[in-house]
Chains A and B, each alone.
Chain A
Amino acid sequence: NAGVTQTPKFRVLKTGQSMTLLCAQDMNHEYMYWYRQDPGMGLRLIHYSVGEGTTAKGEVPDGYNVSRLKKQNFLLGLESAAPSQTSVYFCASSPGRNTDTQYFGPGTRLTVL
């Protein structure tokens, strides 16, 4: 049981390049989340999903897109990376309705030059 895994662990992009971050969970959780972590700002929610095929915007969605084609996977895309998107990205999952505990992946450190 691997829990929540994220790919890749590190990435460096040039401004304007695109990339996709992959999050996978093997706990059969319904809900999944993408956060970014910046110094002094805690974690801010980018997008989330409450089930396969559904996604919704969080607190800071601009510049990102997401997809949840399979229940176990939640993809975060950057179509045209900007230096302001340099951050550490965390994926999390939770079992679903009436559950409040989230399980986090190890993070992806992204640098945009």
Chain B
Amino acid sequence: GNSVTQMEGPVTLSEEAFLTINCTYTATGYPSLFWYVQYPGEGLQLLLKATKADDKGSNKGFEATYRKETTSFHLEKGSVQVSDSAVYFCALYPGGTSYGKLTFGQGTILTVHP
């Protein structure tokens, strides 16, 4: 079956530090890959996505590259801000007749200190 594994958290960084959150997946075929972000007290929002191998998704200074050879979709940001403190979820969509169903990783809590 499909699965997503994220690096264990929580992650605590100082402002302007470099961020990497690892995500690896298991899936048949060619899934689409996503990063969702959940700010405190809110629902999940799509942060970025990539739909095929070697695609790079980017948004708000965050980037992730779809690496089929390593089945990975690691999230990076060069300089984090306090406002980036949130829970980050990696997810995949297998496509086909999956009716839009996503498989999520367990989430990584990021805290950024001034």
Interface residues, chain A, with chain B CB atoms under 8 Å away: 4, 31, 33, 40-45, 48, 50, 56, 58, 90, 92, 94, 96, 99-102, 104-107
Contacts and interface: CB of A to CB of B under 8 A. Distances in A.
Contacts of B101: 33, 45, 48, 58
Residue with the highest number of chain A CB atoms closer than 10 Å, among B51, B93, B101: B101
Interface of B: 4, 32, 34, 36, 41-46, 49, 51, 89, 93, 95, 99-102, 104-107
Contacts of A90: 43-44
Given A101-B49, A102-B102, A106-B41, 15 more contacts: A4-B43, A31-B100, A33-B101, A42-B89, A43-B44, A94-B100, A100-B32, A100-B34, A100-B49, A100-B93, A100-B95, A101-B34, A102-B44, A104-B45, A106-B42
Contacts of A43: 44, 89, 102, 104
B51 to A, nearest CB: 8
A105 B49 contact: no
Contact of B100 (A44, A100, A105, A106): A100
B43 A48 contact: no
B43 A105 contact: yes
A41 B106 contact: yes
A106 B99 contact: no
Q: Give the 4 A-B CB pairs with smallest separation, nearest first.
A: A104-B43, A42-B104, A100-B93, A42-B106
A18 to B, nearest CB: 25
A68 to B, nearest CB: 13
B58 to A, nearest CB: 16
Contacts of A99: 100
